[in-house]
Structure 1
Amino acid sequence: MVYGQEKSGWVKGRITDSQSVAASGAHILIPHTNYAAITDQDGYFLLKGTDGDQTLRISILNASKEIKVKLVGGDTLSLEDIKMDHQTIDLSDVVITGQSEAQSLKKSVYQVRTIDSERIRLRGATSLQNVLNTELGIRFSNDLTLGTSDIQLMGMSGQNVKILLDGIPMVDRGSTRESLGQIDINTIERIEIVEGPMSVIYGTDALAGVINVITKKGQGGSHLTLSARLQEETAGKEYNAFTKNGTHNQNLGINWQRKRLQLGGNITRNHFGGWQGASTGRAKDWMPKDQMLYTVSVRYQANKWHIGYGFNGTDETIQYLGNRNLITKIAADKDYTTYRWFHQVQSEYRASEKLNFTGVLSYTDYSRKTLSTNLDSLGRRTLSLDAGAQDQSIFTATFFRGTAFYKFSSAFSLLAGVDISNNNSSGARILGSPTINEYALFLAPEITLVPGIKLSPGLRFLKNSVYDAPPVIPSINGKIALGKTLDFRFGYARGFRSPALRELYFDFHDASHSINGNTNLKAEYSNSFNSFLTWQSVRKKDIRVNSTLGGFYNVFHDLIDTAIDPNDKTQTTYLNVSLFKTMGFTLDNKLFWKNMQANVGGSYIGRYNQYSELPKESGQFPQFVWSAEINTNILYTFKKIGATANLFYKFSGKRPVYESADLVTVHLAETAGFHMADLTLSKTISRYVNVIGGIKNLFDVTTLANSSTDTGAHGSGGAVPMSYGRSYFLGLHVKWSKR
């Protein structure tokens, strides 16, 4: 909800589809203003705006319409139910990531992909990885030794992908984006994915792109909403109801609002019993995980300003179960425990129709603890006395962002902001107690040169306490309307990423890992280009087709990666790669036909082969190695019975890489391609109850053949783990609301 001047009125109503079924998640906005709202689970909305004649633009999924209303200052206008015709389509999704103000996707100069809460629900998703793994250009890798997953976006790995929660950076130990698995899926309103470097707006770690997770907010009015979710899932063929084997998810949520005050909270338990796979005895291929997620929110809204506090807490334990020694009968176990306390305060003050200010302050306390114990044959457990068996690493971060936005006219606006961050670390494996401070000022005007041509240049001024950061980072993004149904977007940005605390000061050694920090690392920088052509090729009453063709080219200098320490061949460390490039092409097609929605897309992404620079020493090799992807999502709605069927499919082609174990002989290694697919069925039982069930990983993928002989820092040689096989799930969702 966005708030206007004191002399304002309200409009409330309910959005339904053509069968009078409540339309949750519909966007209602007044064009050319920041006044917007989203319908709740029962289709209701409450929108505040200035008095006088106004136009309401309503959009949901593939439907859009506009209605005229007259608001009177101090009064609330009640509308009759508004029915949406799902046979029409418009690119009217409201996006905020990277924007100077909330605006429709069609008007944005950035190419933004959105995933709404309804799509998340229809996936039966229990984590963000379940949602993102079928998106084009996104891949996940798993470290079974530590029980973590990392993300790759458009050929770039996790340390170059910025993860935001309501626009605030999430803190991780280092390059692995563990935070993706520690966000409560039940609290998410939508996900916005911006491809390409966003270093000007969001700074360090945004070279490959940004994933902004936006949580659910109140919709206005006085109400009480209670929700509950229960979902049970097998782990391959392994399952034990509610307790041991399999995946068990429970959630309880409450949201209360009275006039200007809103309170909310969620508690979620995600229990994974592990998966034995090819392991024997006590050991498991996938380790058990028990996770508790807590969220608390308090918001107060006034006529010109609002302020809110949010808390996100994680208490997670991953268990490594060792097999008993044949002689001593002792089993060596490890518990990896993570605590994350993430506090945030957000506020906004709207001084006038043209000027508004926002402020964000967050504090993160993140710790990862390793507890090693020995279990004897009598069931007695004692602490392990081995070197490094007991360990704790602590990472804290304080972040402040302040912005001012002024709209000079419909053709020119300016976003200016300041970012201040403080990052600290300590622990037995941390060298000292290092601190990195960074200060930045950014400017991002948006200019409409002529109708249909919009430019958004940007500048970011940096000061880093450890590195000589470039004094200015530039970018420019633009959008050209080539016709009513054809839009062209383009962008260039200079990227910058300072080394993380882990890459500098963290030393990690165990049976599967051997890696040292490097205090001599340089900061990364890049030059990146991208372009997208969007075409609404078919616009008829019963059928709509949208197509987006994209391309990108990135050149990275001093890219930070793990490699053999040149001073000690037995050790692995972080080093600056002199040059690295990625390039690729994507094609995404969306079809809306009566009760069916479908999209078919593909990508072809190339990663730079560093050995192509040395033809005399290594031989003739191609400059890029390429990998293909194809994905398909099909959703069909049976309106008369209140049911939906969803099929998600993705093919990830083989992943080639040139490598050298002795720095002399170079050979081609490949990770095999694979197919992933999910089928889900959803049925509305009553106004408050919904049942969902289905099959995940239809092709029963577990591990991928891998011809790499380079074990590296993370044990990457040998078979690559992907999943624990085909699983079956059944879930129940209950939501009750009273106004």
Structure 2
Amino acid sequence: MRYVFLYLCCFQLITTLARAQESPGKISGRVVSVDGKPAVSATVLLKTTRYGTTTDAEGHYFLVAPEGRYSVVIQSLGFGTQTIPVRVKAGETVTIPPIILSEATQQLDDVVVTGQYEPQSVRQSVYQIRTIDRERIQLRGATNLIGVLNNELGIRFSNDATLGTSDIQLMGMSGRNVKILLDGVPMVDRGDTRESLNQIDINTIERVEIVEGPMSVSYGTDALAGIINIITKKPGSERIALSGRVQEESVGKEYKGFSGKGTHNQNLGATWQKNGWHVGVGGTHNDFGGWQGTSLTRTKDWHAKEQWLGNVKFGFRNEKFNVWYRLDAVDETINALGAVNVNTNQARDQNFITSRFTHQAQGDWRASERLQLNGIVSYTDYSRRTQTTTLDLTTGRRTLSLGQGEQDVSDFVSQVFRVTAQYKVSSAVSLQPGIDINTERASGARILGSPSINDYAFFVSSELKPTSAITIRPGLRFVKNSVYDAPPVIPSLNTKITLHKNTDLRLAYARGFRSPALRELYFNFFDASHSITGNPDLKAEYSNSFNGSITWRSVATGTLRITSTLTGFYNDFHDLIAYGNDPNNPGVMKTINIDRFKTTGGTFNNTLYTNHLQLTVGFSHVGRYNSLTQDDPGLPAFVWSPEVNANLTYHLQKIDTKVSLFYKYTGKRPTYESLTDAEGKPVTRLAETADYHWADLTISKSITKYVTLNGGAKNLFNVTRLNNTSTDTGGSHSTGGAVPLSYGRSYFLGLNFQWSK
């Protein structure tokens, strides 16, 4: 199958080269601010077309476009928009005189791609989408995606101290219901947690797009709670670009310079492009020394972790084609030190070694002004190895341990083939049919047999605009699966209504579904802290989801702009997959279908922009279904948990310094549990995981045109563990005991280097 994918990629490249002989025209120029400084990363677009780029470190830009008359639109955050008419002639270069941008408060709409027919502003999308841009990622001094997403409303993380992994929760739903995409390609995970979030090189990310609610029509299984799409950096206007990053961070009070204790990060990247061809390469080394915490022995509360991440990308683009290949590779080792046996003076240590290679080839072809084709081919090879050794501290000799399951490798292979077409019937009607083929297979000592799953889908949606104020997006997905009986059809309906020039209403219904994954069907996992078996008899999950939002944008004045968004959602899940006790072996947990589960709630987000200040303040209240109400109607149907967040960035322009504060309050998480009293009678009690406050303070200072200094403090409230009153401590995935959250307050200092010409 991999050779078929390779041939398809080669065919796309050959087709592109064959059509690349057309002779377009070129546009070049320079953008500066009123003080004469280069306007770096300003957006340069040809109005009503898909052609665009960004300015380099010197403010220069370069565009290729077919012959014709255009309006060049130049925009940059915090500055007014400039529009310049231009005529492009085939084979000639048009040089536009330098453009001077004046300060303004008009905030640009983010351009999004997730679920869209083509890139468009977030305001025009029928979906309510949150974005996190590159600047915010850099301001936070984050070294992984958790360090970016942990401040978002409705997103929470849980940590497995035994395996050294983390999982995400979105609007009350666990990570197995959140689909993680890298440039639209699904990420593969071994277990039911989304540990792949921590295995993406944050230095390659252009932005993150978060879509809440089912996206099953467009993206298939696993998208019940929503989509997190990580968009990587694309070529700009620069011919050559070099980047680098070095960051040092303490772990609580523990630190040793550049190795050992603390967190140590290094990154290098380079890109080149000429005549439509572009090549990029990058590499990152992340070294986390672990955290001793409250442990008084050689074991650590947080395991040490070392990552090597690399990426290679090359491609070709012109006015009609854009085709590229990308390889992302990860090598990760988590080192779990064991306690010393006082009788033998020996210790049992474990390494959890992850290897991941993700190949993807993507292409876009604008066949005409009405028709555009998109294709994705990907191949992911992912393995996780457990290596257990015994260290004799008397002699220093280390030997492999031969106990059951102590030397293990689990392999997962995923292949994706996806083709979509966008056809504009008229200015009021557009169609998007598509084919989506996904195959997965697995092997290993903990995998029952060598199973595989093939999923074949045809989907179609339409964007209807009966008036300029109304957009309606109906959609259907038809699925055939090789293992389970898929729903015959998956429908969705999204609408966007412009109530006023500054007010947009969005309403949506979607039927979500999620097929059982290989890991849930056939994966068995037994160690000192986990006793889990798969269940080949699982049924597919499905849900009915309703959500709505209203966004109000105030008219920009000379000094201020405010945007407010109120959202609400209700999800009703059937046959939700979770963990339960095996009736034949109560000491073992297995995956089962829960009859019913629901989530509901809403958010209220507000943003404020001035010349020098960016402020966001938000609130969410999420309710999770209390299944015990089926036996005791006197209990509340939902248990609720609030969240509050605030992000503030102030730009001291005279010294070119940005000061940022990122804050989030996460409320108590209640749950009802059923117990047995001393007389053997069932009783119900309320248990809670404690609330907490989190805050990061960062400072970013431009030292030179090419070098930026970043520093600050994270986890100012020094939160490490959360109190938990649950008494469920019996088995794997139990909810009892203190909940590990972080390794305490830390301090960081880093240098970022960007050069281009």
Normalising by structure 1, what TM-score?
0.96
Give matches, 1:539-618, under 5 Å: 539-615=556-632
Cα deviation for residue 301 of structure 1 reads 2.0
Identify the residue that residue 521 of structure 1 maps to in structure 2.
Answer: 538
User: Aligned pair 1:297/2:313, yes or no?
Assistant: yes
Residue 153 of structure 1: which of 166, 170, 195 is its match?
Answer: 170
Larger CA deviation: 368-377 vs 39-48: 39-48
Cα deviation for residue 7 of structure 1 reads 6.6
Partner of 1:106, secondary structure, is coil
Distance 2:122 2:98 in 1: 26
> What are the superposed Cα offsets for residues 624-680 of structure 1, whole Å, 9 maximum, x if unpaired?
000000000000001111110000000000001112245932211100000000000
User: Aligned pair 1:181/2:198, yes or no?
Assistant: yes
User: Aligned pair 1:203/2:217, yes or no?
Assistant: no
Q: Number of matched residues?
A: 733
Cα deviation for residue 4 of structure 1 reads 11
User: Aligned pair 1:686/2:700, yes or no?
Assistant: no
Identify the residue that residue 737 of structure 2 maps to in structure 1.
Answer: 718
User: Aligned pair 1:282/2:301, yes or no?
Assistant: no
> What are the superposed Cα offsets for residues 384-440 of structure 1, whole Å, 9 maximum, x if unpaired?
122111111000001011111111222211111110011000000000000000011
Residue 674 of structure 1: which of 679, 692, 715 is its match?
Answer: 692
Distance 2:484 2:314 in 1: 38
Distance 2:209 2:98 in 1: 29
Identify the residue that residue 697 of structure 1 maps to in structure 2.
Answer: 715
Cα deviation for residue 18 of structure 1 reads 4.4
Counterpart AA for 1:722: L
Identify the residue that residue 32 of structure 1 maps to in structure 2.
Answer: 48
Partner of 1:409, secondary structure, is coil
Partner of 1:225, secondary structure, is strand
User: Aligned pair 1:126/2:140, yes or no?
Assistant: no
Residue 246 of structure 2: which of 226, 230, 234 is its match?
Answer: 230
Cα deviation for residue 22 of structure 1 reads 3.9
Distance 1:573 1:442 in 2: 33
Distance 2:191 2:314 in 1: 31
User: Aligned pair 1:480/2:494, yes or no?
Assistant: no
Distance 1:717 1:20 in 2: 61
Identify the residue that residue 9 of structure 2 maps to in structure 1.
Answer: none
Distance 1:710 1:85 in 2: 61
Identify the residue that residue 644 of structure 2 maps to in structure 1.
Answer: 630
Cα deviation for residue 148 of structure 1 reads 0.6
Change over 3 Å in CA distance of 1:62–1:556 after alignment to 2: farther
Report if aligned partners of 1:36, 1:47 keep a CA contact under 8 Å in 2.
yes
Distance 1:25 1:337 in 2: 38
Cα deviation for residue 51 of structure 1 reads 3.2
Identify the residue that residue 342 of structure 2 maps to in structure 1.
Answer: 326
Distance 2:435 2:79 in 1: 38
Distance 1:180 1:168 in 2: 13
Change over 3 Å in CA distance of 1:4–1:85 after alignment to 2: farther
Report if aligned partners of 1:268, 1:293 keep a CA contact under 8 Å in 2.
yes
Residue 709 of structure 1: which of 727, 734, 738 is its match?
Answer: 727
Counterpart AA for 2:671: V
Give matches, 1:99-114, under 5 Å: 99-114=116-131
Distance 1:4 1:71 in 2: 22
Report if aligned partners of 1:54, 1:71 keep a CA contact under 8 Å in 2.
yes
Identify the residue that residue 651 of structure 1 maps to in structure 2.
Answer: 665
Distance 2:668 2:77 in 1: 34
Change over 3 Å in CA distance of 1:401–1:62 after alignment to 2: farther
Counterpart AA for 1:512: S
Partner of 1:665, secondary structure, is strand
Partner of 2:433, secondary structure, is strand
Cα deviation for residue 133 of structure 1 reads 0.5
Report if aligned partners of 2:502, 2:555 keep a CA contact under 8 Å in 1.
no
Cα deviation for residue 86 of structure 1 reads 4.4
Counterpart AA for 1:703: R
Counterpart AA for 2:709: V
Report if aligned partners of 1:479, 1:488 keep a CA contact under 8 Å in 2.
yes
Identify the residue that residue 485 of structure 2 maps to in structure 1.
Answer: 468
Identify the residue that residue 548 of structure 2 maps to in structure 1.
Answer: 531
Identify the residue that residue 336 of structure 1 maps to in structure 2.
Answer: 352
Change over 3 Å in CA distance of 1:112–1:10 after alignment to 2: farther
User: Aligned pair 1:731/2:750, yes or no?
Assistant: yes
C-alpha root-mean-square deviation of aligned residues, in Å? 1.8
Cα deviation for residue 33 of structure 1 reads 2.7
Identify the residue that residue 400 of structure 2 maps to in structure 1.
Answer: 383
Larger CA deviation: 276-285 vs 653-662: 653-662
Change over 3 Å in CA distance of 1:48–1:456 after alignment to 2: farther
Partner of 2:340, secondary structure, is coil
User: Aligned pair 1:257/2:273, yes or no?
Assistant: yes
Distance 1:138 1:9 in 2: 46
Distance 1:229 1:546 in 2: 34
Normalising by structure 2, what TM-score?
0.94
Counterpart AA for 2:300: K
Report if aligned partners of 1:5, 1:353 keep a CA contact under 8 Å in 2.
no
Distance 1:19 1:135 in 2: 36
Distance 1:471 1:335 in 2: 44
Cα deviation for residue 211 of structure 1 reads 0.7
Cα deviation for residue 715 of structure 1 reads 4.3
Counterpart AA for 2:479: L
> What are the superposed Cα offsets for residues 698-734 of structure 1, whole Å, 9 maximum, x if unpaired?
0000000001122342343200011000000000111
Report if aligned partners of 2:421, 2:432 keep a CA contact under 8 Å in 1.
yes
Residue 442 of structure 2: which of 413, 416, 425 is its match?
Answer: 425
Change over 3 Å in CA distance of 1:538–1:675 after alignment to 2: farther
Report if aligned partners of 1:28, 1:38 keep a CA contact under 8 Å in 2.
yes
Identify the residue that residue 13 of structure 2 maps to in structure 1.
Answer: none
User: Aligned pair 1:77/2:91, yes or no?
Assistant: no
> What are the superposed Cα offsets for residues 61-113 of structure 1, whole Å, 9 maximum, x if unpaired?
45552403213222232234434444332452211110011111111111111
Q: Which structure 1 segments of 5+ residues have no match? A: none
Distance 2:57 2:446 in 1: 48
Distance 1:363 1:500 in 2: 17
Report if aligned partners of 2:308, 2:330 keep a CA contact under 8 Å in 1.
yes
Distance 1:680 1:702 in 2: 20
Distance 1:342 1:143 in 2: 25
Report if aligned partners of 2:577, 2:592 keep a CA contact under 8 Å in 1.
yes
Distance 2:326 2:739 in 1: 38
Change over 3 Å in CA distance of 1:331–1:474 after alignment to 2: same
Distance 1:592 1:667 in 2: 46
> What are the superposed Cα offsets for residues 585-643 of structure 1, whole Å, 9 maximum, x if unpaired?
1000000122000000010000000011212xxx6210000000000000000111111
Give every structure 1 segment of 4 or more consecutive aligned residues whose post-TM-superposition deviation is greater than 6 Å.
2-5
> What are the superposed Cα offsets for residues 550-570 of structure 1, whole Å, 9 maximum, x if unpaired?
001000000000111223212
Identify the residue that residue 256 of structure 2 maps to in structure 1.
Answer: 240
Cα deviation for residue 547 of structure 1 reads 0.3
Counterpart AA for 2:345: K
Residue 159 of structure 2: which of 142, 146, 150 is its match?
Answer: 142
Report if aligned partners of 1:59, 1:93 keep a CA contact under 8 Å in 2.
no
Distance 1:58 1:116 in 2: 19
Cα deviation for residue 56 of structure 1 reads 3.0
Partner of 2:198, secondary structure, is helix
